[in-house]
Chain A
Amino acid sequence: NAGVMQNPRHLVRRRGQEARLRCSPMKGHSHVYWYRQLPEEGLKFMVYLQKENIIDESGMPKERFSAEFPKEGPSILRIQQVVRGDSAAYFCASASGSRHENTGELFFGEGSRLTVL
């Protein structure tokens, strides 16, 4: 029973390029969350998605960042025209519908570490 899978684990981009980070939730999970961990900071909520729906994107910068969770395939966090300040670890977490409501337990992936040169 595979856990939350994220790729790439490490990504290097030059300023102005695009970064795409992918997340496959645990089997049977339909809720996906993205968190960002900046250097020396705690994890911060970015966006909450269910299949084909963005539930809450209040933690995501209004420009250059977008997220999707299509009917088929992984969730994708997309960062356009990256800047140095985007360098961080991006974590994906998933939860099942019913279990999420009962226990509130999230399961995290190993993260994607973005470095912007």
Chain B
Amino acid sequence: KQEVTQIPAALSVPEGENLVLNCSFTDSAIYNLQWFRQDPGKGLTSLLLIQSSQREQTSGRLNASLDKSSGRSTLYIAASQPGDSATYLCAVRPKRGSNYKLTFGKGTLLTVNP
């Protein structure tokens, strides 16, 4: 059974700092991995989608990497801003079986202080 763990559970940084969020998964047979942002009381906004054949994806100040063999992904946020404060969720889609079911981590709550 796939399990997704996100570390740390919460992170508080001063504005301008570069930071890394971690996601690990137990079953490396994944189709893809997706990073989402969730603001309080809001839905999920897709940030980056990495296919299993890819090593990284970039969008603006965000860079996500994937090491499938070790079961890890990182989300790197450069020059953090207060507007980046949110919960960041990692989700994997399995390669086998019911591959439409995403397995989510519990998220990392990020606070960027002005």
Q: Which residues of A contact B96 (CB under 8 A)?
A: none
Is there an interface contact between B101 and A45, defined as CB atoms closer than 8 Å? Answer: yes
Q: Which of A4, A43, A55, A58 contacts B89 (CB 8 A)?
A: A43
Q: Given A48-B100, A105-B46, A40 and B106 touching (CB < 8 A)?
A: yes
Q: Which residues of A contact B46 (CB under 8 A)?
A: 105-108
Interface residues of B toward A: which range? 20 to 34
Q: Given A103-B49, A104-B32, A105-B49, A110 and B43 touching (CB < 8 A)?
A: yes
| A-B Cβ contacts below 8 A, count | 63
Find residues 35-50 in chain B having any chain A CB closer than 8 Å to their own CB. 36, 41-46, 49
Query: What mask results when residues 74 to 117 of chain A are scored 1 for a CB within 8 Å of chain B, else 0?
Result: 00000000000000000100000000100111111111010000
Is there an interface contact between B106 and A41, defined as CB atoms closer than 8 Å? Answer: yes
Query: What mask results when residues 43 to 77 of chain A are scored 1 for a CB within 8 Å of chain B, else 0?
Result: 11100100000011011000000000000000000
Which of B32, B49, B101, B105 gathers most chain A CB within 10 Å? B101
A-B contact list, 15 entries, CB within 8 Å: A31-B100, A40-B106, A42-B104, A43-B44, A43-B91, A43-B102, A45-B101, A45-B102, A55-B100, A56-B101, A103-B49, A104-B31, A107-B46, A110-B43, A111-B43
Interface residues of B (CB under 8 A from A): 4, 31-32, 34, 36, 41-46, 49, 51, 89, 91, 93, 98-107
